[in-house]
């Protein structure tokens, strides 16, 4: 979830960029890693299994390179950001999906699903409410029913709501 959020945050700016290319990339990337895991777990050993695993890996790298070459980043951090974007988060998504899907039992999936849903119920409303994008361009701050516009001048103009 964090790796997906890092990619989303870097490539989508609400109101200025189209989120569909990024969402399509995350969907295709996740689908490829799930397919890789299913082949790894259920295909009989032998050359066909190795070929299918290699094909999934080549497809994942192709999708990643296509996304990286076609979709521009909406934000670039000034001081610190994830290096080699989107390669590091995508590799994290690919291999963690393989690990999670391929090595856990039924009760572990139930616990993971329950805790993920609980986290989303708490985090999504909180994150949307307090995020930079919810403020528009980040220059407005609300305090005591008034919206104060931040400026570099000594006096801030006050806008009544």
**Distance between CA atoms of residues 120 and 59, nearest Å:** 30
Query: Rounded to an integer, what distance in angstroms lies between the CA atom of residue 62 and that of residue 59?
Result: 5
Residue 50 forms part of a structural domain: yes
Q: How confident is the model at residue 134 (pLDDT cuts 50, 70, 90)?
A: low
Instruction: Tell me what pLDDT residue 118 has.
Output: 92
Within a domain: residue 48? yes
pTM metric for this prediction: 0.61
Please tell me the predicted confidence (pLDDT) of residue 62. Answer: 93
In this structure, what are the phi and psi dihedrals at residue 39, rounded to the nearest 5 degrees? -65, -45
In a domain, 152, yes or no: no
In a domain, 51, yes or no: yes
Q: Would you say residue 138 lies in a domain?
A: no
Residue recorded with tokens 């006050």: 158
3-state SS, one letter per residue, for 73-133: CCCCCCCCCCCCCCHHHHHHHHHHHHHHHHHCCHHHHHHHHHHHHHHHHHHHHHHHHHCCH
Q: Contact 107/45 with Cβ under 8 angstroms? A: no
Residue 131 is predicted with a pLDDT of 63
- Window from 4-18, 39-53, 106-120, 122-136 with minimum mean pLDDT: 122-136
The verdict on residue 132 lying in a domain is: no
| Angle ∠(12,75,4) on CA atoms, nearest 5 | 50
Is there a domain that residue 157 lies in? no
Summarize pLDDT for 63-120 with one digit per residue, the tens. Answer: 999 998 888 888 887 777 778 888 888 888 887 776 677 777 778 878 888 998 898 8
Please say if the pLDDT value at position 140 is more than 50.
Answer: no
pLDDT for 76: 80
Q: Domain span at residue 23?
A: 2-108
pLDDT value for 85: 85
Q: What percent of the chain has pLDDT over 90?
A: 7
Is 93 inside a domain boundary? Answer: yes
Total domain count, the chain = 1
Listed in sequence order, the residues at least 6 apart from 147 whose beta carbon sits closer than 8 Å to its beta carbon are 140, 141, 158, 159, 161
Q: Could you tell me the pLDDT band of residue 5, with boundaries at 50, 70 and 90?
A: confident
Order of strands across the sheet with 140-143? 140-143, 146-149, 158-160
Q: Are 56 and 62 in contact (CB under 8 A)?
A: no
């Amino acid at each position: 979830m964090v790796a997906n959020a890092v990619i989303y945050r870097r490539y989508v700016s609400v109101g200025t960029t189209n989120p569909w290319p990024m969402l399509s990339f995350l969907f295709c990337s996740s689908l490829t890693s799930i397919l890789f895991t299913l082949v790894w777990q259920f295909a009989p050993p032998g050359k066909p299994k190795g070929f299918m695993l290699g094909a999934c890996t080549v497809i994942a790298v192709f999708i990643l390179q296509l996304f990286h070459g076609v979709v521009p980043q909406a934000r670039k951090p000034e001081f610190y950001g994830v290096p080699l974007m989107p390669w590091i988060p995508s590799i994290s998504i690919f291999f963690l999906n393989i690990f999670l899907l391929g090595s856990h039992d039924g009760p572990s999936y139930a616990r993971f699903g329950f805790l993920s849903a609980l986290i989303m119920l708490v985090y999504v409303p909180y994150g949307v409410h307090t995020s930079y994008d919810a403020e528009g361009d980040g220059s407005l701050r609300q305090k005591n029913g008034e919206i104060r516009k931040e400026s570099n001048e000594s006096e801030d103009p006050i806008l009544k709501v």
